[in-house]
Amino acid sequence: MNKQPDSASDHSNDKKVTRKVSVAIIGAGTAGQNAFRQARKIKEDALIINDGFWTTTCIEIGCMPSKLLIAAADRAYDTNHSSEFGVHASAQIDGKQVMERVRAERSHFANYIKEQVDSWPENNKIAGRAHINKQGLIEVNDELIEAEKIIVATGSSTFIPDDWAKKLGKTLLTSDTVFELADLPKSMAVVGAGAIGLELAQAFTRLGVDVTLFNQVKRVAGLKDDDINNKAIDCLSRELTMHLGSKIINVGSQTSADNAASAAAFIDYEDSAGASQQWQGEYVLVATGRRNNIDELGVENLGVELDEKNRPKQLDKRTGKIGDLEVYIVGDANANLPLLHVASDEGFSAGSMVCDNKKDAYIRPPATPFSIVFCSPQIVNVGMSLPEIQEDSELEYVIGKVSFDNQGRSRVMGVNCGLLHIYGCKKTDRILGASMVAPDAEYIGHILAMAITNDLSIKDMLDMPFYHPTILEGLRTALHDVQQMMRIPYQSNDTQQDNS
């Protein structure tokens, strides 16, 4: 995209365009790679520019290493908590081996992506930090590139509160650095009870680390249904030390007088009752969210407007297109839904849209909102949230419920703590959304997401077989509860009870 200069002092005017391309993709994570692969099917000159690793956030510092850590933690937990079954054992945890496996398996997944990137023609990729100048040209390394269309897929970075990095020094950890630990620490504070904070706090706890979790509000995983939130806190607090509703006043680190090479971290905070307290330990893991990497890219020089949180205005959530501009912002960069499957779909759609034949371009439909926190029990949200439903005065809804505290298979397995709410629409007999903390919630969530996406009715759902005995029978109980409150007659030959 080429724009007329608006400043005589912009020295980029002195440079000559070194390359002209039909489409340039900036960023090579999940969204960027999908956009590049799709665009290059028709645009042979499609160019991808990337600063940093050429794999994905998920593989390097997100989904995969965290799940590898959780897998080790679950093995340790099951070993240490099997006495109720008459199986007595104690896990011997080798912290170095735990962390070595996390990195080794991460490399295995990363190598697959690297092989794909290595197969791309060298002329179609540039390693370097891109900046869009006031003429709408892309400056990277020694090149000045003119692109007819630009796809921005620059991802996100961890957010660290002001001065914390300086105050905590080497005792500071984030999700970007925690998987590089050579060994398991003795103690750790985790700040933030979102998905990342909960998963890592529980995993390190199960691996023998003394973990304390802090969160400013009395809420976990961003849950918006108060009953589900309270149940999640109840289930998780049985093994996690949590200071919810606490206010952090100050953080820092102190060097030991006996060992100048060691440092201890501290957190001064007010607890939920307003009393002053201090935590001390080895590390502080900051899990206070991520922010999109867009503020220094220069997208405003393309006519893109950002709001106060660096989110692009006039965003088409299906394709990532910005208004009438030939600019697409996809994946975590647009701060819409920072989830891998959303980034993948947005990148695919944007890569399809930049092709000449837009009429026949394959645009992925908007995904049903769906999130999973892989703690134990798992926390899942699908479809509309309860506040969203309550804000719509035209929606007449009911809430079907099931507790997993005495659900048959859950009790058999010793994982009987949880609660599921399904929000049903009385007018349409359809599922509006659901929220849950439950064993096997990832599978319950997928079934409900499929039902919402395919417009299945409550009757359609209850016509499906529910095998006995399974945790998924709890889903059937909640669906029956929805149906009963809707007062829709339905005869079923299935008379099995979930706690049988």
Quick one: 19 and 153 in the same domain? Answer: yes
Same-domain check for residues 239 and 255: yes
CA 35 to chain centre: 20
* Average pLDDT value over all residues in the chain: 89
248 in a domain, yes or no?
yes
pLDDT band for position 70 (cuts 50, 70, 90) = very high
Residue predicted with more confidence, 499 or 301: 301
Q: Final residue of a domain: which of 289, 316, 348?
A: 289
Contacting residues for 293 by C-beta, under 8 A, at least 6 apart: 27, 154, 155, 156, 157, 332, 333
- What pLDDT shows up at residue 268? 98
Is 367 exposed, middle or buried, given 0-12, 13-18 or 19+ CB atoms closer than 10 A?
A: middle
Query: Residue 108: its pLDDT value, please?
Result: 93
The answer to whether residue 4 sits within a structural domain is: no
- Asked which of 360, 388, 415 is the last residue of a domain, the reply is 360
Question: Are residue 263 and residue 302 in the same domain, yes or no?
Answer: no
> Residues 254, 385: one domain?
no
Inform me whether the pLDDT recorded for 203 exceeds 80.
Answer: yes
Using a pLDDT cut of 90, give the percent of the chain over it.
70
Query: What sign does the dihedral 356-358-359-363 (CA atoms) show?
Result: positive
When mean pLDDT is compared across 5-14, 190-199, 419-428, 473-482, the lowest value belongs to 5-14
What's the chain look like in SS3? Answer: CCCCCCCCCCHHHHCCCCEEEEEEEECCCHHHHHHHHHHCCCCCCCEEEECCCCCCHHHHHCHHHHHHHHHHHHHHHHHHCCHHHCCCCCCCCCHHHHHHHHHHHHHHHHHHHHHHHHCCCHHHEEECCCEECCCCCEEECCEEEEEEEEEECCCEEECCCCCHHHHHHHHEECCCCHHHCCCCCCEEEEECCCHHHHHHHHHHHHCCCEEEEEECCCCCCCCCCHHHHHHHHHHHCCCCEEEECCEEEEEEEEECCCCCCCEEEEEEEECCCCCEEEEEECEEEECCCEEECCCCCCHHHHCCCECCCCCECCECCCCCEECCCCEEECHHHHCCCCCHHHHHHHHHHHHHHCCCCHHHCCCCCCCCCEEEECCCCEEEEEECCHHHHHHCCCCCEEEEEEECCCCHHHHHHCCCCCEEEEEEECCCCEEEEEEEEECCHHHHHHHHHHHHHCCCEHHHHHHCCCCCCCCCHHHHHHHHHHHHHHCCCCCCCCCCCCCC
Asked if residue 414 belongs to a domain, the reply is yes
The answer on 132 and 33 residing in a single domain is yes
Cα–Cα distance between 439 and 498 in angstroms, integer? 14
Both 188 and 208 in one domain: the answer is yes
Residues 33 and 140 in one domain: yes
- Model's pTM, two decimal places? 0.89
349 shares its domain with 324: yes
pLDDT at 435: 98
> Stretch 376-388: mean pLDDT, rounded?
97
Sign of CA dihedral 82, 84, 88, 92: positive
Does residue 389 lie in a domain region? yes
Range of the domain at 445: 370-486
Residue bearing tokens 């400013």: 216
CA 402 to chain CA mean position, Å: 26
Same domain? For 214 and 226 the reply is yes
Q: How high is the pLDDT of residue 5? A: 47
106-116 pLDDT tens trace: 999 989 889 98
| 276 and 178 inside one domain | yes
Out of 256, 289, 322, a domain closes at 289
Find the CATH number of the domain harbouring 448.
3.30.390.30
pLDDT at residue 56, as a whole number: 81
Q: Does residue 498 belong to any structural domain of this protein?
A: no
Question: Could you tell me if residue 74 is inside a domain?
Answer: no
Number of structural domains, the chain? 3
The predicted model gives 29-48 an average pLDDT of 89
**Which amino acid is present at 326?**
E
64-73, 223-232, 325-334: the lowest-pLDDT one: 325-334
User: Quick one: 313 and 275 in the same domain?
Assistant: no
pLDDT per residue as tens digits for the range 312-362: 889 888 778 899 999 989 888 887 766 666 667 777 677 777 766 665 556
**Residue 41 to residue 482: CA distance in whole angstroms:** 47
The total number of residues written for the chain in this structure: 500
Domain presence at residue 494? no
Q: CB of 26 within 8 A of CB of 150?
A: yes
Which residue from 120, 121, 139, 137 is spatially nearest to 129, judged by alpha carbons?
139
Domain assignment present for 348: yes
* Cα–Cα distance for residue pair 415/315, rounded to 1 Å: 42
What pLDDT shows up at residue 8? 40
pLDDT at 356: 65
pLDDT reported for residue 309 = 82
The candidate with the shortest Cα–Cα distance to 399, out of 433, 438, 448, is 433
Give the tokens for residue 360.
């026949």
pLDDT of residue 196: 95
For residues 20 and 145, state if they share a domain.
yes
DSSP secondary structure, 163-187, as one string? THHHHHGGGEE-TTTGGG-SS--SE
Q: What CATH number is given to the structural domain containing 46? A: 3.50.50.60
Say yes or no to pLDDT of 46 above 90.
Answer: yes
